[in-house]
Amino acid sequence: MKMMPLALTLHAPQTVMVSSSPIYLLPTSSLQNRTSFRAFCSSVSPETIHSEGSKAEYKPGILDHFFLNSFRDKLVKEVGWDSEKPGYGGLIELAKALMMNSRSNSHTKDAAVRILKSLFPPLLLELYKILIAPIDGGKVAAMMVARVTVLTCQWLMGTCKVNSVDLPDGTSCNSGVFVERCKYLEESKCVGICINTCKLPTQSFFKDYMGVPLLMEPNFSDYSCQFKFGVSPPLPEDDDTLKEPCLDVCPIANKRREIQRNVDVMKCPKA
């Protein structure tokens, strides 16, 4: 929420069992053809990830439970189905269903953007884009959303903090958010879910509906993630994140190996 981060609560979104994770095939409405960019894959071993140390723990509070439930409700409406699992584990199953239900990565991204939009009163987004985003070349808006992200999205991502990032004009600004070890990526164990339900839709949401450029840089070796508000992402064909390999522990890839033993398992199932 990849807020699915402020995109998951402003962006909402316990342990996913790799061996038993189902693939959900739900009915979808027909869509017009759209250009999509997909993640290609060779494996990253789980040993690389776990060698970086244990994940940073974040203990959710009352508001965090509210954010999770609100985001989950919106996700259920979009997917048309709800998981029997409670809490965060159920949210991860819904995110998997959203991706597997989609005919393309573009469809998944558009659905995630709709979820993020539905978390805000429409007038609030419009006013922010018109009145706040232009101030001081966008720096004020970028710093504001960075702080709100930290305040409202740790239930989704885990421990994170505001940090300084370099802007395109050569200056630096405290408009970054560093996620120490993303819970959403760690629990989903899927590069495709990270890219198509979090990174790409969150970047689009902030730029298109709040007027704030955003570059998200997930690290699939240690599960950290750097948000750079005020920095535009590269073109899809130039974004190395979209060429990242699948994780060895990906439950979707493992399920696919069981069903289709003769397929190229080096490619992401969503590629």
What the chain holds in terms of domains, given with CATH numbers, is 56-238 (3.30.1380)
Comparing C-alpha atoms, which of 195, 190, 220 is closest to residue 18?
190
**What is the C-alpha to C-alpha distance for residues 203 and 218, in angstroms, rounded to an integer?**
13
Helix (H) or strand (E) holding 174: strand 172-179
Q: Phi and psi of 187, rounded to 5°?
A: -80, -35
Structural contact between residues 210 and 6, judged by C-beta atoms closer than 8 angstroms: no
Residue 11 predicted with pLDDT over 50 = no
Average pLDDT over residues 91-116: 93
Token pair for 102: 């989609």
pLDDT of 153 = 95
Contacts for 65 with CB less than 8 Å, ≥ 6 apart: 155
**What is the C-alpha to C-alpha distance for residues 32 and 52, in angstroms, rounded to an integer?**
43
Residue 264 predicted with pLDDT over 80 = no
Token pair for 216: 């998200």
Token pair for 204: 């689009």
Average pLDDT over residues 143-154: 97
Comparing C-alpha atoms, which of 38, 21, 42, 23 is closest to residue 246?
42
Amino acid at 73: D
Token pair for 207: 């730029």
**What is the C-alpha to C-alpha distance for residues 226 and 229, in angstroms, rounded to an integer?**
10
pLDDT of 106 = 92
Residue 271 predicted with pLDDT over 80 = no
Q: Which residues of 152-185 are buried (b: 16+ CB within 10 A; e: fewer)?
A: bbbbbbbbbebeebebeeeeebebbbbbbbbbbb
Residue 18 predicted with pLDDT over 90 = no
Model confidence at 3, in pLDDT bands (50, 70, 90)?
very low
pLDDT of 94 = 96
Structural contact between residues 248 and 170, judged by C-beta atoms closer than 8 angstroms: no
**What is the C-alpha to C-alpha distance for residues 268 and 271, in angstroms, rounded to an integer?**
5
Token pair for 267: 């490619």
